[in-house]
Amino acid sequence: MRRFARFALLPLVIVVSVITLGAADTQARYQDLGHKLMCICGCSEILIECNHVGCPDSDRMLAELRAAIDHGDSNNAILTAFQDKYGPTALAAPMLTKFNVVAWIVPPALLVLGLFGTWILVKRWRMRVAAAPVVEEAEMSDDLRERIRKETEV
Amino acid sequence: MPTFGSFALLVALALSGYNLLAGAVALRQLATGRRGAIAPERLAETARRAGIASFFATACAAFALVWAAFTNDFSVAYIAEHSNRALPWAYKFAALWSGQEGSLLLWAFLLSAYGFVLRARHKVDVKLTAYASTILAAIQVFFLLLVNVAATPFSLVPGGLAPQDGNGLNPLLQYPEMVIHPPMLYLGYVGFAVPFAFALGALMMRYPGEKWIHITRRWTMVTWLFLTVGIFLGMHWAYNVLGWGGYWGWDPVENASLMPWLTGTAFLHSVMMQEKRGMMKSWNVWLIFSTFMLSILGTLLTRSGLVSSVHAFAQSPIGNWFWIFLVFILAVCTFTYIYNRDHLATEHKLESLVSRESSFLFNNLVLLAACFTVLWGTFFPVLSEFVQGNKVTVSAPFYNRVAVPIGVFLLFLTGIGPLLAWRSTSMKSIRRNFILPGIVALVVAIAVIPMGVQPWTIFTTDQEGAFYSWITFALAAFVLTAILNEFYKGARVIGQKSGQSLLASMVQLTRRNTRRYGGYIVHFGIVLIFVGIGGQAFNQSHEQTMNYKDSFNLGPYRVECLDYSQDTNANYDTEFAMLNVYRGNRFVTKLAPELRVYAVNGQPSTIVANHSTLVEDLYVIYAGKDPSTGQPVIKAFLNPLVSWIWIGLLVTILGTGIALVPNMSASLAAQRHHVTVPAEPVAAGRAGD
């Protein structure tokens, strides 16, 4: 059943991908990349959101971004070019290079480790205590009503 | 007045110092049984009274500073720096927290106010309150030392000659919400000192039972509410004043307020495990320790300039003081915990992975993971500089990719937690409880696709926003159905017994167990907030230079330029545009975005024009003038569902308020509605979750 679902899903994903492939047009790329860059004037704002009146940098940087997109550069090439020109603080988030990989990996890794650790811990606890009898609930109405009656103190 | 204020601060320091020393000596004598010349009970009482008196002294100092602002006493350097004659009175009052020294004085004042209430209510548990009061006094001493030595609010201007007028308040802060946002946030930060003091005190004295949790429950909830309101007021201010079209920028100082909120939320959930099952005692103690330390870290981040922030107006060298204080607190907490940890042995173990307890455990884990992600992202630039020699920026793209999935997972847990029973839940019960919310979630997941929520774009672009929004909407439907179902089932039973209408039965149900159903309403509010945030993935924007009668389309709206002009008054020069907004051919509203330049310091400020509906906000800013044509550049955003964030906040406030109200007793309810009271007593307020 699971295998069937996987195979049924695959053509759907391919069709949808092909249909929407052209969606990433120039304006969308401009918006997307503009949100991945920082204005370097010191306002600490995302490049495309910089509304610093008289900002000496954002207009120029946005024009460079527009030119790079029109030139047909890839997203990665554009981000790398901005990083090389303005330094690593021009990127709104570190790229997946060298030590910066750590920034992306540590939080999800810790969450997974935490979930796994909790699961192990609960299993160990369960082994220590006698298995609690699972409360078999009878028909919905009586038992549920009783529980609600108790909880609501009627 | 400055002399009076300085003197009041010195007196407050002396009184808090006495409270700390005398309180510590008295508690030591009581613990060891050794008695000095004065009986420890009497000594402890003098300490308590000194603590109460320190509140009045600190209040006098705060009053002196506000008075100086109202009377334009520019001989006080702080007032000259943060106020001026033309400033409206409400903002003069806000001058108390618009700069470093004033906001530290506010910290000290609020702390002493919390301490006053705690010490006045000492009869709730004299010994435990004495411990908590002494610990609070130690924190008070730190802040009073700061305002007496390192950041004095009553320093006179150099040379002693008062200027004719002051520099005025930062124009960005001249907004009604700014009069209440900082105090709310500070009430949140400072308020966590109270449960922290009780937890540390209870651990020091090896306090038996969970009474400290019962005592601090309302403190913690009120504090959490203040912090929540403070955070959202800040978001609303950012949205309406900063003019970049958003409400949360993942700025380090914003992050600093979010971290104690996350751990505080985790604490509010996990204390229920301790109350009900005697579990997670160490965890709870460390959660509240961490929450308080993160509150201090938040203040440190605002002050030290350790990380670059748009809130950089408050940087100074006093960050070192906070580092020392933070390390001191950590050392005290660690030592006390190690020394007394056998006292925190758990009474029960988890019996099943599928139980209310484990859902709380996972909820706590996810909240802490979210907190760690924010902490990690905030400090990674510092770590990167240390390791690689260069600073990197960690901003919205990082958090959107790492923190958003964690938030969505949390929403999922919000939905399933209340559907699970304590100890263990049978598969039959799971199936029964999950069917209706599951079906509704599925229907919503399908229904939103034709509305433009296309989750598959995650496979075709590197934009994951639509995918997470899709999951959020489906999970929101799941959680809302689960909550409404809980209300419906409970109300139906009451309705059958009392003959009341469904709505009246729901009100009755909520009044009988305010904690449980107030909690559900809080969850309801949080879900609405998630829905509002989910709309962010579909924001649109348009920028255009506009001449008379020029127009552009954005979503369902057509924006037409009617006029543009400029004006001037004593406070600022302004440029503005008059825009007509149409939907189809129907006139909707008139918007007038402005750009002001304040005379006193030449600082520009954007005045956003926003047409807000339940579906979307049409948010328009005047971005400046096109230098070649002199025509206004108008930037417009179409932000879907933003209103639900603010509605969600109101629902959250309502829910927390309800949870704070004591339960209506069963007998009273029965009397009112002639319902037979069951023979066995059911502890009021304990049935809640």
Tens of pLDDT, residue by residue over B314-337, are 556 788 888 899 999 999 999 999
**CA–CA separation, B167 vs B600, rounded Å?**
7
By CA distance, what is B313's nearest residue in A? A43
pLDDT band at B584 (very low <50, low <70, confident <90, very high): confident
- Most A CBs within 10 Å, among B458, B460, B507, to test the A interface: B460
**CA–CA separation, B642 vs B236, rounded Å?**
10
Of A103, A122, A150, the CB nearest to B353: A122
Question: Is B270 in contact with B280 (CB distance < 8 Å)?
Answer: yes
- Determine phi and psi for B559, rounding to 5 degrees: -110, 125
What are the pLDDT digits (tens) for A19-54? 444 444 787 788 888 888 998 887 778 888 887 767
Of A16, A93, A152, the CB nearest to B397: A93
Instruction: Count CB atoms within 10 A of the CB of residue B163.
Output: 12
Distances, alpha carbon B464 to alpha carbons A80, A103, B537, B551, in Å: 22, 19, 8, 32
Of B309 and B333, the one with more pLDDT: B333
Ranked by mean pLDDT, which of B153-162, B340-349, B471-480 comes out on top? B471-480
Q: Is B211 exposed, middle or buried (0-12, 13-18, 19+ CB in 10 A)?
A: middle
Q: What is the Cα B94 distance to its own chain's centre?
A: 19
**CA–CA separation, B584 vs B588, rounded Å?**
9
Name the DSSP class of B121: T
Per the CB < 8 Å rule, is B460 touching A21? yes
Q: What is the Cα B350 distance to its own chain's centre?
A: 31
Write down the pLDDT at residue B629.
Answer: 86
What are the pLDDT digits (tens) for A142-151? 555 555 555 5
Tell me the nearest-neighbour CA distance from B391 into chain A, angstroms.
7
- The mean pLDDT value for B114-135 works out to 90
pLDDT band at B99 (very low <50, low <70, confident <90, very high): confident
SS3 for B415?
Answer: helix
Residue type (1 letter), A106: V
Per the CB < 8 Å rule, is A49 touching B244? yes
- Which residue carries 């037979």 as its tokens? B676
Structure tokens at B505: 């039965």
- The mean pLDDT value for B354-371 works out to 87
Distances, alpha carbon B190 to alpha carbons B11, B318, B334, B486, in Å: 21, 18, 21, 35
By CA distance, what is A145's nearest residue in B? B493
Among the listed residues B341, B654, B509, B604, the one whose alpha carbon sits nearest the alpha carbon of residue A151: B509
pLDDT at B612 over 90: yes
Write down the pLDDT at residue B110.
Answer: 95
Instruction: Count CB atoms within 10 A of the CB of residue B567.
Output: 11
Write down the pLDDT at residue B227.
Answer: 95
Write down the pLDDT at residue B313.
Answer: 47
Cβ contacts (< 8 Å) between B425 and chain A: which residues?
134-135
Q: Is B331 exposed, middle or buried (0-12, 13-18, 19+ CB in 10 A)?
A: exposed
Per the CB < 8 Å rule, is A153 touching B377? no
Q: Is B662 exposed, middle or buried (0-12, 13-18, 19+ CB in 10 A)?
A: exposed
Provide DSSP, A85-109. Answer: HH-GGGBSS--SSTTHHHHHHHHHH
Tell me the nearest-neighbour CA distance from B483 into chain A, angstroms.
14
Write down the pLDDT at residue B673.
Answer: 53
Write down the pLDDT at residue B100.
Answer: 84
- The mean pLDDT value for B211-235 works out to 91
List, run by run, the mean pLDDT of 10-residue segments along chain A (154 residues): 49 46 66 88 82 79 90 89 89 86 92 87 70 48 56 47
Give yes or no for A127 touching B (CB within 8 A): no
Residues 6+ apart with CB under 8 A from B580: B559, B560, B562, B587, B590
Name the DSSP class of A22: G
Structure tokens at B166: 């002051």
Residues 6+ apart with CB under 8 A from B649: B228, B229, B232, B525, B529
- Most A CBs within 10 Å, among B270, B392, B456, to test the A interface: B392
Question: Is B679 in contact with B663 (CB distance < 8 Å)?
Answer: no
Tell me the nearest-neighbour CA distance from B680 into chain A, angstroms.
9
Per the CB < 8 Å rule, is A135 touching B249? no
By CA distance, what is B664's nearest residue in A? A153
Structure tokens at A147: 């529980």
Buried b (16+ CB within 10 A) or exposed e, B537-557: bbbeeeebbbeeeeeeebbeb
Residues 6+ apart with CB under 8 A from B177: B233, B236, B237, B240
Residue type (1 letter), B505: S
Write down the pLDDT at residue A144.
Answer: 57
Rounded to 10°, the helix B514-534/B502-512 angle is: 110
Of B384, B393, B428, the CB nearest to A38: B393
Among the listed residues B256, B364, B354, B250, the one whose alpha carbon sits nearest the alpha carbon of residue B301: B256
Per the CB < 8 Å rule, is A153 touching B460? no
- The mean pLDDT value for B17-30 works out to 91
Residues 6+ apart with CB under 8 A from B155: B76, B77, B78, B101
- The mean pLDDT value for B386-410 works out to 89
Using a pLDDT cut of 90, give the percent of chain B over it: 45
Give yes or no for A14 touching B (CB within 8 A): no
Per the CB < 8 Å rule, is B351 touching A118? no
CA angle, corner A146, sides to A142 and A149, nearest 5?
Answer: 135
Question: Is B408 in contact with B478 (CB distance < 8 Å)?
Answer: no
CA angle, corner B318, sides to B315 and B319, nearest 5?
Answer: 75
Per the CB < 8 Å rule, is B392 touching A100? yes
By CA distance, what is B498's nearest residue in A? A154
- Which residue carries 């990127």 as its tokens? A91
What are the pLDDT digits (tens) for B54-89? 999 999 999 999 999 999 989 899 999 888 888 888
Per the CB < 8 Å rule, is B670 touching A154? yes
Write down the pLDDT at residue B158.
Answer: 84
**CA–CA separation, A33 vs A83, rounded Å?**
13
Provide DSSP, B601-660. Answer: T--EEEE-EEEE-SSEEEEEEEEEE-TTT-PEEEEEEEEETTHHHHHHHHHHHHHHHHHH
**CA–CA separation, B633 vs B624, rounded Å?**
5
By CA distance, what is B622's nearest residue in A? A51
Per the CB < 8 Å rule, is B244 touching A152? no
- Most A CBs within 10 Å, among B353, B382, B395, to test the A interface: B395
- The mean pLDDT value for B202-220 works out to 84
Question: Is B245 in contact with A41 (CB distance < 8 Å)?
Answer: no
Mention the CATH class of domain A2-90. mainly alpha
Per the CB < 8 Å rule, is A122 touching B462? no
Per the CB < 8 Å rule, is B494 touching A152? yes
B540 sits in which H/E element: strand B540-545
Provide DSSP, B550-614. Answer: -EEEETTEEEEEEEEEEEE-SSEEEEEEEEEEEETTEEEEEE--EEEEETTT--EEEE-EEEE-S
Tell me the nearest-neighbour CA distance from A135 into chain B, angstroms.
7
Tell me the nearest-neighbour CA distance from A68 into chain B, angstroms.
18
- The mean pLDDT value for B597-616 works out to 85
Residue type (1 letter), A31: Q
Cβ contacts (< 8 Å) between B495 and chain A: which residues?
none
Give yes or no for A131 touching B (CB within 8 A): yes
Of B227 and B352, the one with more pLDDT: B227
Write down the pLDDT at residue B176.
Answer: 82
Pick the CATH number of B1-169 from 1.10.3470, 1.20.1300, 1.20.120, 1.10.8: 1.20.120
Distances, alpha carbon A88 to alpha carbons A32, A69, A104, B459, in Å: 18, 20, 16, 28
Cβ contacts (< 8 Å) between A135 and chain B: which residues?
421, 423-426, 429
Of B395, B541, B604, the CB nearest to A38: B395
| Helical residues (DSSP H) of B71-175, grouped into ranges | 77-82, 89-94, 100-120, 126-145
By CA distance, what is A86's nearest residue in B? B392
pLDDT at B541 over 90: no
pLDDT at B487 over 80: yes
- ipTM greater than 0.90: no
- The mean pLDDT value for B515-522 works out to 91
Write down the pLDDT at residue B501.
Answer: 87
* β-bridge partners, B635: B543, B621
Cβ contacts (< 8 Å) between A108 and chain B: which residues?
402, 405
pLDDT at B365 over 60: yes
Question: Is B658 in contact with B510 (CB distance < 8 Å)?
Answer: yes
Write down the pLDDT at residue B681.
Answer: 35
Per the CB < 8 Å rule, is B395 touching A114? no
- Most A CBs within 10 Å, among B241, B359, B393, to test the A interface: B393
By CA distance, what is A119's nearest residue in B? B353
- Determine phi and psi for B678, rounding to 5 degrees: -65, 150
pLDDT at B658 over 90: yes
**CA–CA separation, A111 vs A113, rounded Å?**
5
The full length of chain A comes to 154
CATH architecture of B538-643: Sandwich (2.60)
Give yes or no for A141 touching B (CB within 8 A): no
Give yes or no for A149 touching B (CB within 8 A): yes
- For chain B, give every domain's residue range: 1-169, 177-346+355-396, 397-536+647-673, 538-643
- Mean pLDDT (chain B) is 86
Write down the pLDDT at residue B235.
Answer: 93
Cβ contacts (< 8 Å) between B460 and chain A: which residues?
16-17, 20-21, 23-24
SS3 for B544?
Answer: strand
**CA–CA separation, B689 vs B686, rounded Å?**
8
- For chain A, give every domain's residue range: 2-90, 100-152
**CA–CA separation, B162 vs B173, rounded Å?**
24
Give yes or no for A118 touching B (CB within 8 A): yes
Of B350, B606, B684, the CB nearest to A51: B606
Give yes or no for A79 touching B (CB within 8 A): no
Give yes or no for A110 touching B (CB within 8 A): yes
Per the CB < 8 Å rule, is A54 touching B604? yes
Of B577 and A56, the one with more pLDDT: B577
